[in-house]
């Protein structure tokens, strides 16, 4: 089973740009280059999170608002654009990756000993082994269910 985050894409972008609880190393370096005190970096992060939670920022407005906050608090002029250096990843670590589009079957190792089936079998033979293995598990579960019914009576 996969874990799905309830965070919006804007909240994920704020985390990616500034860090989670602690400031990310890239953000710390950026505020150091701009000669902004570290406590002010935390204030910028908090302000950005607050505006996102209130629904004031949507989509790419997060990037532009962060740059505005950095410019307001900056004591040095910096020519780089920090938000462009931090790339937007479409793949989230909390998302289940798509299933590969192959016609080959991959058999997981058996749980009891970790051995895998030999790969020199044909697909039909591999499927037969999988069916046999699943049938054994089903039979074991039936026996367990019968024993539980006897105990509960």
| Spatial distance between the Cα atoms of 34 and 135, rounded to a whole number of angstroms | 65
| Whether the Cβ atoms of residue 36 and residue 70 lie closer than 8 Å to each other | yes
| Whether the Cβ atoms of residue 73 and residue 34 lie closer than 8 Å to each other | yes
pLDDT the model gives residue 142 = 92
Q: Name the pLDDT band for 138 (thresholds 50, 70, 90).
A: very high
Q: How many CA atoms lie within 13 A of 152 on its CB side?
A: 6
| Whether the Cβ atoms of residue 75 and residue 97 lie closer than 8 Å to each other | no
pLDDT the model gives residue 11 = 83
Other C-beta atoms closer than 10 Å to the C-beta of 88 total: 13
User: pLDDT per residue over 10-35, tens digit each?
Assistant: 888 888 888 888 888 888 888 888 88
Domain ranges of the chain: 9-85, 102-153
| Whether the Cβ atoms of residue 88 and residue 13 lie closer than 8 Å to each other | yes
Average pLDDT, the chain: 78
Strands (E), 9-149: none
pLDDT the model gives residue 128 = 87
**Which of 70, 66, 72 has its CA nearest to residue 13?**
66
User: pLDDT per residue over 31-61, tens digit each?
Assistant: 888 888 888 989 988 989 888 888 887 877 8
Q: Give strand pairing partners of 23.
A: 19
pLDDT the model gives residue 87 = 67
Rg (CA), the chain: 27
Q: What is the DSSP secondary-structure string of 32-54?
A: HHTT--HHHHHHHHHHHHHHHHT
């Amino acid at each position: 089973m996969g874990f799905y985050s309830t965070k919006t894409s804007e909240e994920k972008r704020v985390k990616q740009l500034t860090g989670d609880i602690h400031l990310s190393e890239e953000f710390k370096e950026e505020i150091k280059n701009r000669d902004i005190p570290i406590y002010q970096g935390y204030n910028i992060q908090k302000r950005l999170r607050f505006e996102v939670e209130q629904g004031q920022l949507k989509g790419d407005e997060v990037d532009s608002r962060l740059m505005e906050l950095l410019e307001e608090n900056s004591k040095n002029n910096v020519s780089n654009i920090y938000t462009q250096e931090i790339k937007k990843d479409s793949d989230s670590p909390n998302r289940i990756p798509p299933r590969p589009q192959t016609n080959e079957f991959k058999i997981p190792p058996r749980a009891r000993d970790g051995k895998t089936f030999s790969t020199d079998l044909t697909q039909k033979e591999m499927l037969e082994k999988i069916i046999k293995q699943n049938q054994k598990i089903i039979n074991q579960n039936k026996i367990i269910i019968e024993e539980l019914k006897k105990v509960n009576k």
